[in-house]
Amino acid sequence: MKKLCLLVFLIFLTSLAFLKYGYAFGSLQDLIDSAEDGAIIKLEDKTYEGNITINKKIEIIGSNKTVIKGDGTSNVVSIRSPGVVMRNLTVMNSSMDRNSSEEYAAVKIYSDGNLLDRIKISRSFHGIYLSQAHGNVVQNSEITGLGKGEIANQGNGLHVYYANSNLLKNNKITGTRDGMFFDYANDNTISDNEISHTRYGLHYMYSDHNRFKNNIFFFNTGGAAVMHSSGLTLSNNQFIFNYGHRSFGVLLLSANKIEIEDNTFFLNQRGLYIDQSTSSSIRKNRIIKNQIGIELWASSNDQVFSANQIHENTIPAVSLGGQGQNSWSENGVGNDWGRTLPSLDLDGNGIGDEPISYQSSFHQLIEDHELTYLFLKSPAIAVYEKMNALLKKNKTMFEDTYPLVRRGGDSIPLVWLLLGAAASLTILLKGRQWLCITFGKNGRKT
């Protein structure tokens, strides 16, 4: 009798161990449903089939070969309880239905205070979707979309909808529609992410007071599109070779009080594109070797440009649709225009002795012929500019009252030179037709 009681007791303890710390038995959903609140579930090196819903506070830990594979009809993982932790596993195969109001994702979070760490996602509509979910952390994860050929048929890498105060850091996103999309999402922090081969690497709509820092964007149609939003901070980001018809490093459209500081814009179609925006501060940025450094529409006013390095762009800055009320210096500090617009500094105080004024007739070509963007490097553009200068038809694009004079010449970081060389080599090998197909098809008039 004693032996029987002991056996029953051991079986009971074993069952508790499986519920609290153990490897999965049965389906993964069965294991989740059986687990106690606060349990730690350790998954095996195998593929778990079927969609799952997590409705209690648990921690799910996988390994390098752990896969949760959906059946293609819904979200693969739906998190509805706060305090859930998922680590170190792959999630794949959500529904790809674009017409569903559900907006399916590999991982969809409906609750607060969850942690996703080292999650790999592929073959899903959206990657990770935060829906009215606040205070979550998504970090160290990789989201791979279907690639440029399917860019219109899929969702976004990270989609943040009515979700506030989340932290998204050190994630890698490639080949999705938009890398990160924010819709009515405020006070989020986004840092140290890498986004490439998307439509817009970052896309803000009606989202305020977000902090965006130390991220890198390359080979996107557009680096960051900030629309109908205010109070954002973009600092220490890199926007490199976001190229195609009407592409850009950063677009501000109906955006107000945006702080853009200490960023790098290198080898983009347009470094900064500003339209219908007010009261933004653009300081200490490096705007180098873009087709157009800054494109500024007359509908934008009260922008302040100060202490920027604006070097070796085909067109340093162009004002379109008239002349807005913007400032090219602040507190006696203008911008460094490099060899493009040299300035004398006889008294050695670092400020040019005379204001710099840039004259051009190029704005008329852009306003009349949208395809002008494709021919910025053509010798015909230079001839056109010189002819209009002789005929005194040029217009003042900007005037910098206190231009900065830099000593020691221009210095371009090695990593930018290497990226530029790689991009140039690709174009030479693949040909101009490849460039137009790859970057031109997804370019859109904004």
61-101 pLDDT tens trace: 999 899 999 999 999 999 999 999 999 999 999 999 988 88
Count how many residues are written for the chain: 446
Query: What pLDDT shows up at residue 7?
Result: 47
Query: What pLDDT shows up at residue 413?
Result: 55
Query: What pLDDT shows up at residue 433?
Result: 47
Query: What pLDDT shows up at residue 254?
Result: 97
Distances (CA, A) of 154 to 3, 104, 110, 177, 203: 60, 10, 21, 6, 15
Query: What pLDDT shows up at residue 92?
Result: 98
According to DSSP, residue 436 is labeled: I
Query: What pLDDT shows up at residue 372?
Result: 66
Query: What pLDDT shows up at residue 21?
Result: 47
Query: What pLDDT shows up at residue 266?
Result: 98
Query: What pLDDT shows up at residue 323?
Result: 76
The residue ranges of the chain whose pLDDT is under 70 are 1-25, 148-150, 361-393, 407-446
CA distance 250 to 242: 9
For residue 438, give the amino acid letter.
Answer: T
CA distance 102 to 153: 16
What's 22-189's CATH class?
Answer: mainly beta
Percentage of the residues of the chain whose pLDDT score is greater than 70? 77
- Contact of 125 with 104, CB cutoff 8 Å: yes
